[in-house]
A and B are shown apart, each in its own frame.
Chain A
Amino acid sequence: DAEITQSPRHKITETGRQVTLACHQTWNHNNMFWYRQDLGHGLRLIHYSYGVQDTNKGEVSDGYSVSRSNTEDLPLTLESAASSQTSVYFCASSETSPTSEQFFGPGTRLTVL
């Protein structure tokens, strides 16, 4: 069955370190999204991609970057981790239709000490 996976599921890192969170989907979806989830803020869009070599900034993109070299993967990189980036991160993917369902991964809990 098609799925979307994230790794690692849990990560503890130190302030200033570079961190990369992986997202892999086997749906063959063109659209992929990264969100962060914080209490009181719901899900906030960090970056998104509508296809290979396409990346776009979301609401809270400062301090994050993504690259899309193939259809299946959209890794999220924290250039220099900050305590404010402690959060749960979700990756999602969807077909290109404007009303397509977004399928979410299980999430990565990141703690920056």
Chain B
Amino acid sequence: GENVEQHPSTLSVQEGDSAVIKCTYSDSASNYFPWYKQELGKGPQLIIDIRSNVGEKKDQRIAVTLNKTAKHFSLHITETQPEDSAVYFCAASPFSGGYNKLIFGAGTRLAVHP
């Protein structure tokens, strides 16, 4: 089955700096890769996603890149702000049968210091 590894487990940056979180996956059949943000005491919330036919996707200060050959994808946050502090999870989903079961990475705790 699918296995997703995520690095680093913790990341500390200064406000305004960029943050990069990397994930690798094992199942070449996986075709959909969402990223979720979890704030303290809340459930995870989708912030951006990418499909296998796309190499990069941007949404304001966040972007995701995908390298299917190497089976890795990354989240990039530019001009970080204190409200970006949270736990971020990557996930992979085999694109089969019309279903969206997700396998998550272990998470990255991002701290943005003013």
CB neighbours of A41 from chain B (8 A): 106
- The residue in chain B whose Cβ has the minimal distance to the Cβ of A45 is B101
Taking the closest CB of chain A, its distance from the CB of B15, in whole angstroms, is 26
What separation, in Å, do the CA atoms of A6 and B62 have in the docked complex? 30
Q: A42-B6, A42-B105, A43-B104 are in contact. Are A98 and B45 (CB under 8 A)?
A: no
Q: A42-B104, A104-B45 are in contact. Are A98 and B6 (CB under 8 A)?
A: no
A101 at the interface (CB under 8 A from B): yes
Q: A42-B89, A105-B43 are in contact. Are A99 and B106 (CB under 8 A)?
A: no
Of the listed stretches B67-75, B76-84, B91-99, chain A binds B91-99
CB neighbours of A33 from chain B (8 A): 101-102
Residues 91-113 of A at the B interface (beta carbon under 8 Å): 92, 94, 96-102, 104-107
Judged by DSSP, the binding face of B is loop
Interface size, chain B (Cβ < 8 Å): 29
What separation, in Å, do the CA atoms of A59 and B4 have in the docked complex? 13
Interface residues of A (CB under 8 A from B): 31, 33, 35, 40-45, 48, 50, 58-59, 90, 92, 94, 96-102, 104-107
Q: List 17 A-B contacts (CB under 8 A).
A: A31-B100, A42-B107, A45-B101, A45-B102, A90-B43, A96-B98, A96-B99, A97-B100, A98-B93, A98-B99, A99-B95, A99-B100, A100-B100, A102-B34, A102-B46, A102-B100, A106-B41
